[in-house]
């Protein structure tokens, strides 16, 4: 996704080059018509140089575009066992700033009305529950920001089918000012509805390990209660 002002500048420069090239070709044909061969060769050389410049400009433009920030969104069901997250990831070539997330009801004038995904904290999925903090300050190249959504099964209980959504991501390429970007990202959780809630056994193992302290505490409590009960019986028998 390229900012409109950059695309307009590209169109303006290439358009100007094309007009100059057309004028040069006309001059070449006119020189040939008059039999002025040196002038025709010169005009033809100008046309060739302009065509080369257009290709060179396109290469430079593409390099510059690759250096722009590019933020995408996707649902993640693998990083945390039995839990869904929304990931904002900068796949561009530079840092993105002031990233904001919102949800659209419609898309490109379609008649379909899309819901907004609900999250575990109540309300809809957002970067932050409070409006004044509802943004990511910056995402460096390759960096991701994870947003808690809901438990795997709870999500489908709290969100009616079909779980298809339209996310709008806004960001800039400078902390203050700079170019403004807007990306529309269709998202869906329908593809995960009938699949396993985890694809990596290591993730499940890590999740199980996090439950060990609670299980150990429960066992410790049972042993303490048992010891207390045995002590009570011992006191009664005495």
89-92: long-range contacts at Cβ-Cβ below 8 A with a sequence spacing of 24 or more?
89/139, 89/142, 89/143, 89/144, 89/145, 90/139, 90/140, 90/141, 90/142, 90/143, 90/144, 91/142, 92/66, 92/67, 92/68, 92/141
206 assigned to some structural domain: no
If asked whether residues 112 and 185 sit together in one domain, one would say yes
182 assigned to some structural domain: yes
Single residue among 66, 90, 117 that ends a domain in this structure: 66
**Which runs of E-coded beta strand occur in the chain?**
71-76, 83-90, 96-104, 136-139, 144-151, 164-172, 180-188
If asked whether residues 52 and 77 sit together in one domain, one would say no
Range of the domain at 48: 4-66
pLDDT of residue 208: 65
pTM for this entry: 0.68
Single residue among 14, 43, 66 that ends a domain in this structure: 66
If asked whether residues 100 and 158 sit together in one domain, one would say yes
Q: 10-residue block means of pLDDT along the chain (238 residues)?
A: 74 89 89 86 88 89 87 89 90 93 84 87 86 87 93 88 92 88 90 62 59 79 79 66
At which residue do the structure tokens 């299980």 appear? 215
pLDDT of residue 234: 66
53 assigned to some structural domain: yes
| Tally of domains in the chain | 2
- Cα dist from 176 to 96, 137, 179, 217, whole Å: 11, 11, 10, 51
37 assigned to some structural domain: yes
209 assigned to some structural domain: no
Single residue among 49, 66, 83 that ends a domain in this structure: 66
Q: What is the CATH number of the domain that holds 101?
A: 2.60.40
């Amino acid at each position: 996704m390229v900012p409109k002002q950059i695309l307009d500048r590209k169109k303006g420069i290439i358009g100007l080059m094309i007009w100059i090239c057309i004028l040069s070709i006309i001059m070449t044909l006119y020189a040939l018509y008059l039999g002025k061969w040196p002038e025709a060769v010169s005009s033809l050389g100008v046309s060739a140089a302009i065509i080369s410049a257009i290709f060179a400009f396109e290469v430079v433009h593409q390099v510059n575009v690759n250096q722009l920030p590019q933020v995408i969104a996707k649902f993640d069901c693998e990083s945390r066992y039995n839990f869904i997250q929304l990931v904002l990831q900068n796949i561009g070539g530079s840092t993105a700033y002031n990233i904001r997330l919102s949800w659209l009801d419609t898309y490109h004038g379609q008649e379909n009305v899309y819901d907004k995904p609900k999250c575990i904290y109540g309300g809809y999925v957002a970067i932050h529950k409070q409006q004044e903090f509802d943004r990511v300050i910056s995402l460096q190249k390759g960096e991701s920001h994870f947003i808690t959504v809901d438990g795997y099964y709870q999500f489908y209980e709290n969100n009616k089918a079909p779980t298809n959504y339209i996310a709008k991501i806004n960001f800039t390429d400078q902390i203050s000012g700079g170019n403004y970007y807007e990306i529309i990202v269709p998202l869906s959780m329908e593809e995960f509805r009938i699949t396993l809630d985890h694809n990596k056994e290591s993730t499940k193992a890590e999740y199980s390990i996090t439950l060990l302290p609670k299980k150990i505490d429960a066992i410790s409590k049972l042993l303490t209660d048992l010891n207390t009960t045995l002590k009570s019986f011992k006191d009664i028998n005495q």
